């Protein structure tokens, strides 16, 4: 219930706070808020000082402390006072005070909290450095990069990928020194993200370190740019990747034609390749497993000291700790290819096509909300899909044009497209969550928008399941997901 102490704290009435502390300290209203939280939210430092000793450490219904509330309310002096009392406590979504301070651009607070909360991740695996990259906080990123570079979130994205999506070239320039070459589990790179979004400047920064990387299905950044009709990026990448083919034998020109980008297809068919084209029988896919670290929760992990060492370091993912033994989702290696290693070890997918010719260039309190469950469900689904299609592709000859190979290629293309739609919807949902958290008045319109975005995510998940069922009806790997979805 709402008490006299809370009202005095909200107004900054120090006399009233002193009067009511003995009998009402520690009480919480219907949403779990305490008098300290009211004082912090409204910027009353004297009231905060009186209440901190008796109410610090409490969390409201969202798991938020007075410290996090002060930061998200823009009250930096209050937040700095509360650091000694509440640093290290996460909210129900895994958000730390450091992440909140980073998003708010409170640099002094970031500096102070980085020694306490660095290398923590929220429920989606995002670190404070990723928040900095996502919200264009360059100065905060400069502080955090030495603590958190090289970490991937649960969808496999790095801070560099977030910076590439946000389009902040200064952040891309900073982070590429530490994270260039680190890919998602399916081999997706930052350069591919830039190629997909049409961000030529970011692609220009990344081409030297990431040109030649391929997804597990053989997709390259050039193919992505060809698919999404970004001619300037196509011209940038042709000298580096025109000789590469996808596992189903498709070239960048063929993909451009498939998506109706005929001018790009014509350019690719007539453009001379600067790099040699090795004979098909000499092409082989290799995967770097150098400097693999055993997986451990990122809170306890130690990063290499040099920037170059980050590039081939295994990092924490949602797959869990390493357990020896065969994986039901891993196809046997090709007799002429090196083994990919244990299935649970996650390493950056640095795939390059090489030639054996001398001219070759090697190149809380509350359980998770429905929206959080849906978000987790979608990420699990896409990961499962990628694994299934990888196994099918590995058992097909690379030159096959069978109906099975065509279906796999179509599914891979569909996944690439839906990956972008999921990312966009998730970003909108996150923005609405932040707006809802900060709103003190009527939130009906915000809530309506939030529910709409959640429904769109669910519809997208339904579509992907239906699409997978039509592509491979004989595959039953998706059944557990269907059961899981129906039970939600």
299-331 pLDDT per residue, tens: 333 333 333 333 333 333 333 333 333 333 333
Tell me the C-alpha distance between 312 and 249, whole Å.
28
Domains and CATH numbers, the chain: 1-86 (1.25.40.20), 370-487 (no CATH)
Q: What is the dihedral of CA 202, 205, 209, 212, to 10 degrees?
A: 50
Q: Which two tokens stand for residue 461?
A: 């998940």
Q: What is the pLDDT along the chain (488 residues), one digit of tens a residue?
A: 999 999 999 999 999 999 999 999 999 999 999 999 999 999 999 999 999 999 999 999 999 999 999 999 999 999 999 999 999 999 999 999 999 999 999 999 999 999 999 999 999 999 999 999 999 999 999 999 999 999 999 999 999 999 999 999 999 999 999 999 999 999 999 999 999 999 999 999 999 999 999 999 999 999 999 999 999 999 999 999 999 999 999 999 999 999 999 999 999 999 865 444 343 333 323 323 233 333 333 333 333 333 333 333 333 333 333 333 333 333 333 333 333 333 332 333 333 333 333 333 333 333 333 444 334 333 333 343 343 333 333 333 333 344 555 666 666 666 666 676 677 677 777 777 776 666 555 566 667 777 777 777 777 777 777 776 666 555 544 444 444 444 44
- Cβ neighbours of residue 193 closer than 8 Å, sequence gap 6 or more: 161, 164, 165
Tell me the C-alpha distance between 454 and 452, whole Å.
5
* Beta bridge pairs of residue 351: 214
Q: pLDDT tens digit string along 265-300?
A: 999 999 865 444 343 333 323 323 233 333 333 333
b/e per residue 95-118 (b: at least 16 CB within 10 A): bbbbbbbbbbbbbebbebbbeebb
The CA angle 366-372-375, to the nearest 5 degrees, is: 170
Tell me the C-alpha distance between 215 and 351, whole Å.
7
Which residue from 469, 484, 456, 463 is spatially nearest to 373, judged by alpha carbons? 484
The pTM of this model reads: 0.60
- Cβ neighbours of residue 180 closer than 8 Å, sequence gap 6 or more: 160, 190, 206, 209, 210, 311
């Amino acid at each position: 219930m709402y008490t006299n102490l809370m009202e005095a704290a909200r107004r900054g009435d120090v006399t009233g706070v002193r009067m009511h502390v003995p009998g009402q300290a520690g009480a919480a209203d219907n949403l779990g808020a305490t008098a300290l939280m009211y004082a912090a939210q409204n910027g009353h430092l004297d009231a905060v000082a009186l209440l901190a000793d008796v109410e610090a450490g409490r969390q409201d219904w969202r798991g938020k402390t007075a410290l996090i509330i002060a930061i998200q309310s823009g009250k930096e002096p209050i937040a700095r006072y509360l650091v000694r009392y509440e640093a290290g406590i996460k909210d129900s979504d895994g958000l730390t005070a450091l992440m909140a301070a980073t998003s708010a651009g409170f640099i002094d607070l970031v500096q102070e909290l980085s020694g306490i909360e660095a290398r923590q991740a929220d429920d989606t695996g995002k670190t404070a450095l990723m928040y900095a990259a996502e919200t264009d906080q360059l100065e905060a990123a400069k502080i955090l990069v030495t603590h958190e570079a090289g970490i991937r979130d649960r969808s496999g994205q790095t801070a560099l990928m977030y910076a590439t999506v946000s389009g902040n070239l200064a952040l891309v320039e900073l982070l590429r020194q530490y994270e260039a070459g680190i890919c998602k589990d399916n081999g997706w790179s930052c350069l591919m993200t830039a190629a997909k979004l049409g961000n030529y400047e970011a692609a220009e920064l990344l081409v030297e370190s990431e040109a030649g990387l391929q997804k597990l299905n053989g997709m390259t950044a050039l193919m992505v740019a060809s698919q999404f009709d970004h001619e300037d990026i196509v011209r940038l990448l042709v000298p580096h990747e025109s000789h590469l083919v996808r596992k189903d034998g498709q070239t960048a020109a063929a993909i451009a034609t498939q998506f109706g980008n005929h001018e790009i297809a014509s350019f690719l068919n007539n453009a001379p390749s600067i790099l040699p084209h090795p004979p098909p029988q000499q092409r082989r896919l290799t995967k770097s497993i150098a400097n693999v670290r055993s997986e451990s929760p990122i809170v306890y992990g130690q990063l290499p000291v040099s920037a170059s060492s980050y590039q081939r370091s295994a990092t924490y993912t949602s797959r869990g700790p390493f357990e020896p033994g065969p994986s039901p989702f891993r196809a046997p290696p090709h007799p002429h290819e090196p083994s990919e290693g244990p299935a649970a070890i996650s390493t950056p997918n640095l795939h390059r096509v090489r030639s054996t010719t001398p001219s070759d260039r090697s190149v809380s309190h509350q359980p998770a909300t429905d929206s959080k469950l849906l978000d987790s469900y979608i990420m699990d689904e896409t990961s499962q899909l990628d694994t299934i299609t990888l196994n099918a592709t590995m058992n097909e000859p690379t030159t096959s044009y069978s109906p099975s190979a065509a279906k796999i290629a179509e599914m891979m293309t569909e996944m690439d497209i839906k990956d972008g739609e999921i990312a966009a919807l998730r970003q909108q949902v996150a923005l609405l969550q932040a707006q809802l958290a900060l709103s003190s008045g009527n939130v009906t319109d915000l809530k309506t928008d939030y529910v709409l975005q959640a429904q769109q995510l669910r519809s997208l998940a339904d579509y992907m399941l239906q699409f997978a069922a039509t592509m491979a009806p004989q595959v039953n790997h998706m059944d557990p997901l269907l059961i899981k979805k129906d039970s939600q």
